[in-house]
Amino acid sequence: MGTRFFSLVAVASFFWLAHSLETHQLTEQPRLSSLLILLVSGISAFATSFFALWLPGANGRFDDDSGPLRVPRPNLPKKPRRYFLPMLVMCIILRLEIFHRVSFDLQCSRSGIEAWLPLVILLYDFISSRKARSSSNAEDKDYDDMGSTMFDAIGNWASDWATNSRVGLGMVTLAFTYGTYLASSHGIRSTFFCSSQENSSLVVFLQWIGLLLDAAIIIVLWRVISWARTTKIRLRTMSGILLASALGTGLLYGSSSLFKQSRPMSYHFRGLDSLYVFDVFVDGLTFSVFFVSTGLLLAEGSPLSLTGIVTFISGLLMALCNTVLIGSWENVTPSKTYFSLVLICLGFSFFVFLNNVRSVVFIHRALVVFFLALVTIAATIFSIVMTHKAQVDSHPLERLVYDARVEAGRWLVHATTSNSLAVAVQEYKERHNGRDPPPKFDIWYKFAKDRKSPIMDHFAQMERDIIPFWGITPEKIREDTRRVALEPDITIMKIQDGTANHEVPAGSPHKAVMDDLAEMIKPFAEHLPDIELAINLNNRPRVLAPWEDVHRFATAGRQKGLSRILSRRSAPAGDELTNSASPNQVIPRRDFTTVRAFREMTALTCPPGTSTRSGAHWDVRDFCSSCTNPHSQGTQDLRNWPLSQKLCHQSDLLRLHGFHTTPPELRPIQELLPVFGASKTDSYSDILIPLHHASERPSGSDRAFEMKRRSLFWRGSLDGHLAGPNSHELLRGGHQERLVHLANNASSTDKTTILLPSSTDTDRFAYEQVSTSELNALLPMDIGFTQSTCKDCNDDVARREFGVKPEADHDAADGQLMHQYVLVVDTNDGPPQDLLHIVRSASVPFQASIFKEWYSERLRAWIHFVPVDLRFHALHSTLAYFTGFNNNQGEIVNGREVKMAPRLEEGRWIAEQGRRWANTAIRRDDMETYLFRLLLEWGRVVDDRREQIGFVL
Ligand SMILES: *[C@@H]1O[C@H](CO)[C@@H](O)[C@H](O)[C@H]1NC(C)=O
């Protein structure tokens, strides 16, 4: 019973640990976490030792060993030496340090190296047994005759053979470890790159050293534990090892942080600190369960069968996951997947007999072998069927663009329903839980009609922005406005007696923006009530209120609208929800925010249970397909643009976007306060308002789409990408940095998956992996950074990494517009600066962004722009769809000729649609219309009689 119980526990806790590492908070402070975990598990192992009598095998031997008690165990190792214990502790400490070093540059590491562990242990076995054999003859194994099946008979025969021919064991171990290695090195890598400043071979070397250390730890532990007589002594020994390692790590950690400069402690955000303690505690306990059960298992079994079983289970799971992906874009090498699965199944089937493993976890080996045979047969059929299905009859983007057009037509009908005031009022009530439109709605309606606004009913963004404030009392909102205006870079726009005024002094860079806003309000100012607006003039959005608050207020806000139709009474005063902060409390101000604290604040804006909320995403090396699947629907293409801008299902974006990897210069406000701003991401609660960017460019010279170059163009500035304490991640993971690296500096081993016409039939397509640098040469791309414009910026590191390109590749005034396709991506602070500029031109914008502005909901993906996922994994494939390859006659790709004609017509259509729509729905008139409606809504929300004053026909 004992071994089965412990192996079940060991395997379960191993997978729990492997799984929880991805979602728990531990990785943000790796050293502290490992120290605490060792401590917790050491203490719990010690505590368990008092209950040793109740554990299986308490007398020092496991009771399912049916042989006579006093027979010496065949696999009893040599006696441990005295220096073994300190050596073990040293190995553990060193192993942890190597782990932290490799995790720090995880993007440079190679996956699958751990799979070789059984082979290393087998090597040790060979060497030590050769020595042992010369001194004494191998003892007979005690076979269990009772209930032995035919399988066992064969197995016994096989293990007899194995003792003679250790080569056999070596070969099968090699087979399934190699299979596991293949399976685990299969995945797609993310575009987070290994910078030239890192020594990637050092990281891989460290990984191999780590592997050797793992083997050493297991073997030494085995020898130590096997010679301890009772379970109690074993538990005490292990607890001692854990505590000594904790002490050692603590000393190392303490002494190294003495020499380092103290960094500002991160801000204590609510909720997460206790979560960290909880994670440490749970993982510590699990780790001790794992360590103890492994240790006890080791004492009875052999290191080889233990590591073999764990490697096999992980390998089999990975190979099965890969097999399921056959036929999708994520697995284009079905033969490799199949080969790895067969190696694992076949290798392990022989391994259980040759190494005399009687049961795997708790399943008899005969059953395991039978199961593996079934798996192999099923996988064979599945692979053949899915490989045939992998070829598609038409390019999926054709269908996608077509569907998008149909959907856009439907959307337009929905957005422009109203042709009379009565219908508009009706539509409004339907879309606002039965709430009446704000006062003066008729005047707004006429205003919008006069200005030929195409959008009369669809203001979803405005609704979302304002609804939480219906859950806060008007008095409190007015107070909050004045309070938040004291924050840096926030100023008040005061509308009183039909005029709009602000107090930004002349000479301030923000004066033009505020003047322009006042100018925009002027035409309808006489219809507005007296209100004050807090306007954010900083580039970054400000209000990062936790999800719980926003959700609570928004729910309360919606319910009021509902109760209003049910009973036409106004809600009694005083039952309104109040914000937790007292009115005249000063907002806690500490401007410096570390990237880590900022990320944690952002995580708090996601609902509990989502991947972003639950923890830090640390695996930057591998492509996160669970992050893209919701908005890509399991394909490579971006299929749901609005969803792709939401953060809560894409925890990896917290490390793949420059906005999340640069510390904000002003601390975000973690309270739901009324702040109006030009742009935000979905995490923020700012209210979007049309603001004219001071930096908006005048439209330069443009020409017809056909007259432009068939290429994709992008230029970014090196400003703000400087070397600094926080730039380690930015330099390797920032979205602009990844883009430039991908397009110019792909290494020889980098691969990109792209949809190509099949070799036999150009009307059929299939995904293939092509060397990224080869693709970069075949596709017309012109992407890079320009020289930084600021004088005293130290951009040496970035310049060396990415190189610099000239502003434009010719003398034309507006270089961007010389290209048919122009990439627009976010800056590190906000939305792309030139999106509207490109939409209005005859070029096609390729947009990669998480930011929104007031007009964002009016632009539709695949109609007005081409959406690009910020991971850039589909950039080549999408571009190739539009441009074809450089040479229309055909190019050699993957050793065969591929012809891919450009789709000029599709590109021209998108460019034209965008231009027309921008000149219809995103004009200055539309800004004013949006602003008018927003201010009417706002005027009502801050009015004490807001429940009564709605507009009724
Ligand atoms: C990356 O590519 C650019 C342009 O091709 C080049 O100037 C730069 O030196 C490259 N960087 C590295 C680290 O090789």
Alpha carbons within 13 A on the beta-carbon side of 898: 25
Q: What is the mean pLDDT of residues 593-621?
A: 86
Q: Between 81 and 491, where is the model more confident?
A: 491
Q: Which atom of ligand 1 sits closest to the CA of residue 196?
A: 13
Residue 543 DSSP one-character state: B
Among protein residues, the one whose CA lies closest to atom 3 of ligand 1: 803
User: Does residue 663 have a pLDDT over 90?
Assistant: no
Higher pLDDT, residue 592 or 163: 592
- 409/157: higher pLDDT: 409
Task: Name 654's Cβ contacts closer than 8 Å, sequence gap at least 6.
Answer: 599, 602, 603, 612, 616, 617, 647, 660
| Res 701 pLDDT > 90 | no
pLDDT higher than 80, residue 923: yes
* Among protein residues, the one whose CA lies closest to atom 12 of ligand 1: 801
Predicted local distance difference test score (pLDDT) of residue 496:
92
- Token pair belonging to 224: 């130590």
Average pLDDT for 689-705: 73
Query: Which residue's CA is minimally distant from atom 13 of ligand 1?
Result: 801
Give me the amino acid identity at 427.
E
Band of the pLDDT at 160, cuts 50, 70, 90? Answer: low
Q: What is the per-residue pLDDT for 166?
A: 77
**CA of 805, closest atom in ligand 1:** 4
| Cα-to-centroid distance, 745 and ligand 1 (Å) | 6
* 354: confidence class by pLDDT, cuts 50, 70, 90: confident
pLDDT in the model for residue 462: 95
In this structure, the residues whose C-beta lies within 6 A of any atom of ligand 1 are 196, 744-745, 801-803
Three-state secondary structure readout of 70-121: CCCCCCCCCCCCCCHHHHHHHHHHHHHHHHHHHHHCHHHCCCCHHHHHHHHH
Q: How far apart are CA 318 and CA 111, in angstroms?
A: 12
| Residue bearing the CA closest to ligand 1, atom 7 | 803
Q: What percent of the chain has pLDDT over 70?
A: 84
Helices 303-324, 365-389: inter-axial angle, 10-degree rounding: 30
Q: Whose CA is nearest to atom 4 of ligand 1?
A: 803
Confidence band, pLDDT 50/70/90 cuts, at residue 64: very low
Q: Express each pLDDT in 488-536 by its tens digit.
A: 899 999 999 999 999 998 888 889 899 999 999 999 999 999 999 999 9
Closest C-alpha to 662, from 673, 670, 654, 671? 654
63 pLDDT exceeds 50?
A: no
**pLDDT above 80 (res 270):** no
Task: Give 274's pLDDT tier (boundaries 50, 70, 90).
Answer: low
User: Which atom from ligand 1 is nearest to the alpha carbon of 804?
Assistant: 7
Q: Which of 44-58, 694-708, 815-829, 830-844 comes out lowest in average pLDDT?
A: 694-708
What is the position in ligand 1's atom list of the atom closest to the CA of 745? Answer: 1
Whole-number Å distance, alpha carbon 801 to ligand 1 midpoint, is 6
Q: How far is the CA of 194 from the centre of ligand 1 (A)?
A: 13
Atom of ligand 1 at shortest distance to CA of 784?
4
- Residue in 744, 787, 804, 809 to alter for ligand 1 test, most ligand atoms within 8 A of Cβ: 744
727 or 75: which carries more pLDDT confidence?
A: 727
Token output for 131: 């020595």
CA of 741 to the centre of ligand 1 (A): 8
Distance (angstroms) between ligand 1 centre and the Cα of 193 equals: 14
Question: Sorting pLDDT into bands at 50, 70 and 90, what band is 895?
Answer: confident
Q: Give me the pLDDT at residue 18, please.
A: 82
Q: What is the percent of the chain where pLDDT is above 90?
A: 51
Confidence bin at 390 (pLDDT 50/70/90)? confident
* pLDDT at position 577 over 50: no
Report the alpha-carbon distance of residue 299 to residue 229 in Å, rounded: 10
Cα 774 to ligand 1 centroid, rounded to whole Å: 16
777 CA to middle of ligand 1, Å? 15
Residue ID of nearest Cα to ligand 1 atom 5: 744
CA of 746 to the centre of ligand 1 (A): 9
* CA 190 to centroid of ligand 1, rounded, Å: 20
* pLDDT over 80 at 773, yes or no: yes
Angle between helices 272-300 and 30-49 (to 10 degrees): 50
Q: How confident is the model at residue 247 (pLDDT cuts 50, 70, 90)?
A: very high
Average predicted confidence (pLDDT) for the chain: 84
The residue contributing the CA closest to ligand 1 atom 6 is 803
Please report the atom of ligand 1 found closest to the CA of residue 741.
1
What's the rounded mean pLDDT across residues 88-108? 92
609 band by pLDDT with thresholds 50, 70 and 90: confident
> Which pairs from 755-764 meet CB under 8 Å and 24+ separation?
755/329, 755/395, 755/396, 755/636, 755/877, 755/880, 755/881, 756/880, 756/893, 756/898, 756/900, 757/898, 757/899, 757/900, 758/391, 759/896, 759/898, 762/899, 763/393, 763/394, 764/391, 764/392, 764/393
Whether 116 and 175 have beta carbons less than 8 Å apart is answered as no
Cα of 744 from ligand 1 centre, angstroms: 7
What is the mean predicted confidence (pLDDT) over 797-823? 77
Is the pLDDT at 811 greater than 80? The verdict is no
Q: Where are the alpha helices (DSSP H) in 432-572?
A: 441-450, 460-466, 474-484, 511-521, 547-566
Asked if the model's pLDDT at residue 350 lies above 50, the reply is yes
- In this prediction, residue 850 carries a pLDDT of 96
- From the CA of 533, how far away is ligand 1's center (Å)? 48
CA 488 – ligand 1 centroid, Å: 40
Residue 827 near residue 768, CB atoms below 8 Å: no
Read off the pLDDT band of 279 (50, 70, 90): confident
Distance between Cα 805 and ligand 1 center (Å): 10
Alpha carbon of 195 to ligand 1 centroid (Å): 11
Give the type of residue at 398: E
Mutate to test the pocket of ligand 1, among 721, 802, 805 (most ligand atoms within 8 A of CB): 802
User: How much distance in Å is there from the Cα of 869 to the middle of ligand 1?
Assistant: 24
Nearest CA to ligand 1 atom 8: 803
Asked if residue 33 has pLDDT above 60, the reply is yes
CA dist., res. 308 & res. 312, Å (int): 6
In angstroms, rounded to a whole number, what is the distance separating the alpha carbons of residues 108 and 199?
8
pLDDT at 593: 75
Token pair for 480:
């909050």
Q: State which of 745, 750, 782 you would mutate to test the pocket of ligand 1, scoring each by most atoms of that ligand within 8 A of its C-beta.
A: 745
Which of 134-148, 527-541, 589-603 has maximum average pLDDT?
Answer: 527-541
Given pLDDT bands bounded at 50, 70 and 90, which one contains residue 57?
low
pLDDT tens per residue, range 618-654: 888 999 999 999 999 989 999 999 999 999 999 999 9
Higher pLDDT, 269 or 929: 929
| CA gap 583, 166 in Å, rounded | 79
In ligand 1, the atom with minimum distance to the C-alpha of 803 is 7
The predicted pLDDT at position 696 comes to 57
Atom of ligand 1 nearest to the CA of 195: 13
Greater model confidence, 66 or 289:
289
From 511-525, 797-811, 892-906, the region with the lowest mean pLDDT: 797-811
